[in-house]
């Protein structure tokens, strides 16, 4: 049996997850925009029941990848 710490992609128990609505509020976009980002694999998410949960770290990573220097 594998230990959870052996998988580097496995979230730890202290990982903070956000709902689609919470991510939409943070990014100031619609829920549908967040769903599109998830569906197009631009934003990693895990399916929980009928909804999705998104790690805070993945939201940060998404923003960092798309950050553009002004100037």
Q: Each residue of 28-68: pLDDT tens digit?
A: 999 999 999 999 999 999 999 999 999 999 999 999 988 87
Q: What is the largest CA-CA distance in the chain?
A: 52
**3-state DSSP assignment of residue 41:** coil
The CATH code for residues 14-66 is: 1.10.1660
Predicted local distance difference test score (pLDDT) of residue 16: 94
pTM, full prediction = 0.75
CA atoms within 13 A on the CB side of 68: 2
Burial 32-64 (b: 16+ CB within 10 A, else e): eebbebbeeeebbbeeeeeebbbbeebbeebee
Residue 13 pLDDT = 63
């Amino acid at each position: 049996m594998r230990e959870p710490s052996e998988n580097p992609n496995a979230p730890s128990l202290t990982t903070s997850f956000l709902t689609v609505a919470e991510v939409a509020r943070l990014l100031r976009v619609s829920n549908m925009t967040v769903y599109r980002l998830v569906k197009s694999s631009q934003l990693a998410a895990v399916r929980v029941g009928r909804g999705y949960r998104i790690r805070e770290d993945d939201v940060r990573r998404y923003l960092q990848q798309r950050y553009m220097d002004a100037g």
